[in-house]
Structure 1
């Protein structure tokens, strides 16, 4: 369980490569014992941020503190961090135990202590009995666990993970997510995970930061970021959503979101913005009704059955509205080609100033 004690703190960290500004004055902290993910699209600056924390890149300006010490001028081997790369880089000529204990040997740890710690960490990652195997004899998931044990055995202040699950197939990736969480709980360490995969970040993280164009858009728990996105980018990048353009119209007693140039008005209890706005509403907060009994009528033009839920695409009668995505739990009696009405959960509408 994470505490509020900061292990790592970044203050106004900036990185420029020539004329390219990769990271633009970011601030965040990593707390003792938490699983923190940095999530964003390719090229947003997240890997550069990880490399600056690890010491493989030097910030153009700003401060990076680990356990209260400014480490900007320290090389990687002088920082108590360890990095699990996307490419695992296991030594094929060494056994599993030799791979895991390599860093300890380089650090001069005596043989008995080295053997004890290698055994302990192979047990933590569920590979007891694999000490004498060659990495080439292991599955992809087992190789991942060897790399994690090798990074953890030196007991770093923070474990840095650079998309280590991205090369695994879907089922193995899901299983490794569970195992990585279990490893995190057993070692009670601080994990910093960089990824573009929102499913991985949302399912594993205590907190996460969403990054875009070198800046941090929002930091929070997965639920906060999904339900209370701070920007249109976050609402669009995390999960699926429907965007509606319009304006907030108020009287002395009422408020509503009026869709631009459409006969579609959604009552609001306490609007967070006024005037021209963009509304975001998640597909599961959109509902299907008989024609004439919702906000706007339309036709179901596509559907996708996912087992526990069905996704429908509705082309509304209002030409200015985009096709709407609707998620219904289980299978609904609605079929492609049916006429329906669409309703919106006004309490779940997120408004952004246009």
Structure 2
């Protein structure tokens, strides 16, 4: 007779929370369009930097000091106003842990990045979801209205993952003016390099953290810079706010390889942004083709497009998978399709045409 072992008691909220579900992996003949990865191979200069990295038997610099100094010089801020962690989502986690606890609230739009709901729950706080507008954009007025005395943090994702639209500069400025100064605003700009909308907010170029010290801007090397497998992202904001994030972070989580690759990527930024321009052209071609078929595709400003497939989402994703196109379904809502290899664009259009 086999009996189940007695296990440690798990917090009910954690036991009920589904783990983060990564995009489905693709077979050798399939296009993986499920994880918003950059389809281009690493640049030779980045690979060379990885070979020259500190030996892996040594710990990395816990502060990622070289990369922080480089980013500080780039954006005209003190290195202490830069925080580097193992991906921008790690910084999100750290900031929520630093600001929210039992009885507190964290406001975010929905649908948005699927990791957002877990962040307040892990901290013991409550997530407050504010529905997107009819055109899949943040409803910033409704988000501001949702702020209460218990609100400790607000997440604004622009361009919004997975739907694609941006928050404009004017909209964000008006929103930030409405939020109490002691409530953290996290401006998640993971896809900023892909934005072409001239009125989009750019938290770093506009230095929004100076007028509003409660704003922290997030960026990542995972998407435009193609370092998703190395996990490195950064935040810029007020030093004391970032000190709180550094306090809650896991020490030594940014590897020496990730730091070196980040610096090498900044050195090769012009070449990397040429690749981004290619992906933007593919995005435009895909959006144009899908709309011509009758799809109601929202404004696409990231490296992905959104198909509002509603109740037919899982069935539609299965059709794509049968044609070796691995996409990201969000049951009951829609499908996110990353911009991948050139050949994938025509394949996506061919399959999408059968689903209209």
Between Structure 1 and Structure 2, the one with more strand by share is 1
Q: Same fold (TM over 0.5)?
A: no
Identify which of structures 1 and 2 has the higher relative contact order when contacts are C-alpha pairs closer than 8 Å and 6+ apart.
2
Larger Rg: 1
TM-score of the aligned structures, taking structure 1 as reference length = 0.29
